[in-house]
């Protein structure tokens, strides 16, 4: 089962962020957290490569190393040694202090291997090689810090969508304030073209909002009085008065950034694999080095075998392995968030990339969640308007999704009394002394309307019957239309090998009709929430990784039972974001396709980095042990490899392949996009 994080529980979040070693997993090196606590680069300050401290020291070390090399060519041997030693000291300052601190706490890391290698090389008189090691390692550490800072900056750039000023009504006058000064209950004035400073509810005004930067959907959203609006959305042509419902530090954008940054520390299977390999490797290679030195004493050439042992220690350094997955995860999650896809950590990202079965809820996921009355049939002398009035009289007291559709279909709503809900069946009540019932076929006998009810259901509509004084008087067909992109999305999923199922509480006839329209063969209908959860467990037992896509609230049991829970249209919905592993901020199903492709691409990059890192160590250790490669060569190969995996991991942060959802018309396959 997937693991969930609850953003509102700070203590629990902090506990979840600490790994088995008691270390914060957000630190780039899960194995070699060797940096000085005081030396960690502040992400809020690092915006350029040259601002990274390790890069600065690395460049100084490289300059001194080059000067020493040139001095050697000129025959100034003493100067060459002094300059190389200075290069070693400057470069080593980026990792040696941290390695010593960790060792004092009983922890072994990559930095310790590098420290041993540098000290050993110096002891053997190879100061230049030791300086080269320190120079290259400091640069790779700096590049790593910069890459993580950059990807986190790109995520936090979401907060830049909030304007620097907001206009509010205070004591009858318009006042310009900082968004941080807004409090709940304030009324913001949002003029055409301005961004919303925080979340709120429209009190007056109508407009079309551009939410593309938040949800990934570029089609404007029509809003008016009582509509909820969110920070960062751009107002269209109307002037709005918006009542503030959240402060700037707790609005939808701030919550998204906070959740992503916290949850990005959660590890996926690939990252755990890297950890499992790297953690025993450090003490293991130290033991192997000690045995190698012992062999040297046995064969009578301890100096030679000591040198090889030191080279082997450096060759076994899992720097690339340690950083390969974290960089990829941070970059990938940041990129997804900028397209309205909120992925809660590396574990969720990896499972998302392995999903092969997709279970879709019907209402609000496959459909628009905007049911409307499409047909009314009456018996005997009764009229369409009478049937609707009787139905509306009962539904006026109901919160059922169909109530809104029925109430919208009639101009007058009579006031019924003694209205009671019968769970799973319908409503009862009294109007003008007449006993009314409204509910599903079976609870109310269709009688003369049986053929009409069957026809309505076969057309994909939900049929409800109206009964007055024990006589069935009419049938109302309510239909929630499929999303325009639903059929194309399902076809795309099928084309790429996904198994697609639909889960719904609707009757079998209606469910089959809508499923056929969407192109779904596997249909599960007449389900209660616990039934959906049971179906999901059955799909998981088939051995295929299963994702449940629902609304994040009503489908909570099914979302929790799936390998991966995906919430649709979660913008501004705390429960949806907290329940699901992945939250799609927009309502366009194509976001699901984009999420799948992005996750699969990310997983490929993770595996590429892990395989390369393991292969590199496997090749370098024997070459170092038998003296084929020297210290300088091993260091160079290692650091080039680390730069490569960092660069490869950062590729996961590219957003070009994610696209922008410009309309709801079918479009070429998203899943078939090239990396």
Q: What is the pLDDT of residues 118-144, one digit of tens each?
A: 777 777 677 887 787 788 777 766 766
d(CA 465, CA 207): 38
Q: Write out 431-489 in H/E/C secondary structure.
A: ECCEEEEEECECCECCHHHHHHHHHHHHCCCEEEEEEECCEEEEEEEEECCECCCHHHH
d(CA 365, CA 378): 32
CA distances from 493 to 26, 340, 356, 424 (A): 34, 20, 9, 33
Question: For residue 580, what pLDDT is reported?
Answer: 78
CA distances from 89 to 30, 66, 69, 636 (A): 25, 15, 16, 18
Q: What is the DSSP string of 122-143?
A: HHTT-HHHHHHHHHHHHHHHHH
Question: For residue 298, what pLDDT is reported?
Answer: 85
Question: For residue 93, what pLDDT is reported?
Answer: 87
d(CA 341, CA 34): 33
Question: For residue 219, what pLDDT is reported?
Answer: 57
Who has greater pLDDT, 389 or 256?
Answer: 389
Whether the pLDDT of residue 167 is over 60: the answer is: yes
Local confidence band at 467 (pLDDT 50, 70, 90 cut-offs): very high
Unique residue bearing structure tokens 């209660």 = 528
d(CA 413, CA 12): 49
Unique residue bearing structure tokens 């969930």 = 4
d(CA 407, CA 393): 9
Whether the pLDDT of residue 20 is over 50: the answer is: no
Question: For residue 399, what pLDDT is reported?
Answer: 65
Phi/psi region, residue 412 (left: phi>0; alpha: psi -120 to 50; beta: rest), is: beta
SS3 at position 529: helix
d(CA 23, CA 271): 15
d(CA 579, CA 304): 60
Which two three-digit tokens encode residue 127?
Answer: 């100061």
Smallest CA-to-CA distance from 657 within 587, 600, 594, 607 is with: 594
Question: For residue 667, what pLDDT is reported?
Answer: 45
Question: For residue 581, what pLDDT is reported?
Answer: 85
Across the range 214-219, mean pLDDT stands at 55
Indicate which residue of 41, 210, 275, 361 is catalytic. 361
Question: For residue 668, what pLDDT is reported?
Answer: 41
Active site residue 361: yes
Residue 566 parent element (H or E):
strand 564-567
Whether the pLDDT of residue 416 is over 50: the answer is: yes
Whether the pLDDT of residue 435 is over 80: the answer is: yes
Nearest-5° Cα angle at 607, 216 to 319? 110
Count of alpha carbons within 13 angstroms of residue 413, beta-carbon side:
15
Q: Show the beta-strand stretches assigned E in 544-675.
A: 546-550, 564-567, 582-584
| Average per-residue pLDDT for the chain | 79
Across the range 7-26, mean pLDDT stands at 36
Question: For residue 41, what pLDDT is reported?
Answer: 41
User: What is the C-alpha R_g of the chain?
Assistant: 32
Tell if the pTM clears 0.85, that is, is over it: no
Local confidence band at 575 (pLDDT 50, 70, 90 cut-offs): low
Given a contact cutoff of 8 angstroms between Cβ atoms, the answer to whether 199 and 229 are in contact is yes
Question: For residue 494, what pLDDT is reported?
Answer: 95
d(CA 631, CA 456): 79
Question: For residue 146, what pLDDT is reported?
Answer: 65
SS3 at position 236: coil
């Amino acid at each position: 089962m997937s693991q969930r994080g609850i953003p509102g529980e700070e203590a629990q979040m902090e506990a979840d962020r600490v790994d088995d070693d008691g270390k914060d997993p957000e630190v780039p090196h899960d194995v070699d957290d060797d940096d000085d606590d005081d030396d960690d680069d502040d992400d809020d300050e690092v915006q350029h490569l040259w601002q990274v401290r390790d890069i600065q020291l690395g460049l100084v070390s490289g300059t001194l190393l080059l000067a020493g090399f040139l001095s050697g060519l000129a025959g100034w041997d003493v100067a060459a040694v002094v300059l190389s030693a200075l290069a070693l000291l400057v470069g080593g300052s980026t990792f040696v202090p941290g390695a010593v601190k960790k060792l004092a706490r009983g922890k072994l890391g990559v930095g310790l291997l590098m420290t041993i290698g540098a000290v050993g090389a110096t002891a053997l008189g190879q100061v230049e090689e030791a300086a080269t090691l320190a120079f290259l390692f400091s640069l790779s550490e700096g590049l790593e810090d910069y890459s993580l800072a950059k990807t986190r900056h790109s995520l936090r750039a979401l907060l830049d969508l909030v304007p620097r000023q907001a206009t509010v009504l205070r004591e009858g006058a318009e006042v310009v304030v900082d968004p941080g000064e807004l409090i709940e209950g304030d009324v913001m004035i949002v003029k055409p073209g301005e961004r919303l400073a925080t979340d709120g509810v429209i009190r007056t005004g109508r407009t079309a909002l551009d939410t593309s930067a938040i949800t990934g959907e570029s089609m404007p959203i029509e809003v008016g009085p009582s509509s909820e609006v969110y920070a960062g959305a751009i107002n269209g042509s109307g002037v709005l008065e918006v009542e503030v419902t959240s402060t700037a530090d707790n609005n939808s954008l701030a919550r998204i950034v906070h959740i992503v940054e916290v949850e990005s520390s959660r590890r996926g299977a690939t990252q755990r694999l890297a950890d499992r390999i790297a953690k025993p490797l450090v003490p293991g290679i130290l033991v192997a080095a000690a045995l190698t030195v012992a062999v040297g004493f046995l064969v009578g050439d301890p100096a030679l075998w000591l040198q090889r042992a030191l080279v082997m220690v450096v060759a076994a350094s899992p720097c690339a392995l340690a950083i390969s997955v974290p960089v990829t995860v941070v970059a990938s999650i940041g990129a997804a968030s900028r397209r309205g896809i909120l992925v809660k950590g590396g574990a969720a990202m990896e499972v998302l990339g392995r999903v092969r079965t997709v279970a879709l809820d019907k209402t609000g996921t496959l459909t628009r969640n905007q049911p409307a009355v499409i047909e009314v049939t009456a018996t005997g002398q009764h009229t369409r308007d009478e049937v609707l009035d009787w139905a509306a009289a009962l539904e006026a007291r109901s919160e059922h999704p169909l109530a809104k559709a029925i109430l919208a279909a009639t101009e007058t709503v009579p006031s019924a009394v003694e209205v009671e809900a019968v769970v799973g069946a319908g409503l009862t009540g009294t109007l003008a002394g007449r006993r009314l019932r409204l509910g599903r076929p079976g609870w109310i006998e269709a009688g003369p309307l049986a053929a009409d009810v069957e026809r309505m259901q076969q057309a994909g509509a939900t049929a409800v019957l109206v009964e007055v004084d024990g006589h069935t008087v009419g049938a109302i067909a309510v239909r929630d239309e499929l999303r325009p992109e639903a059929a194309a999305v399902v076809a795309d999923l099928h084309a790429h090998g996904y198994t697609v199922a639909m889960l719904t509480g609707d009757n079998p006839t209606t469910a089959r009709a809508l499923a056929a329209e969407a192109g779904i063969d596997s249909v599960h209908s007449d389900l209660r929430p616990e039934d959906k959860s049971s179906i999901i467990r059955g799909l998981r037992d088939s051995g295929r990784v299963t994702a449940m896509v629902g609304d994040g609230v009503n489908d909570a049991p099914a979302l929790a039972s799936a390998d991966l829970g995906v919430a649709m249209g979660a913008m501004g919905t705390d429960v949806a974001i907290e329940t699901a592993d992945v939250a799609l901020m927009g309502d366009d199903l194509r976001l699901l396709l984009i999420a799948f492709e992005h996750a699969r691409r990310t997983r490929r990059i993770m595996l590429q980095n892990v395989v390369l890192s393991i292969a590199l160590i496997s090749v370098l250790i024997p070459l170092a042990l038998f003296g084929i490669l020297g210290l300088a060569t091993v260091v160079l190969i290692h650091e080039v490899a680390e730069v490569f995996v960092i660069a490869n991991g950062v590729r996961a942060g590219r957003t070009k392949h994610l696209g922008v959802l410009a309309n709801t018309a079918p479009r070429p396959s998203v899943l078939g996009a090239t990396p």
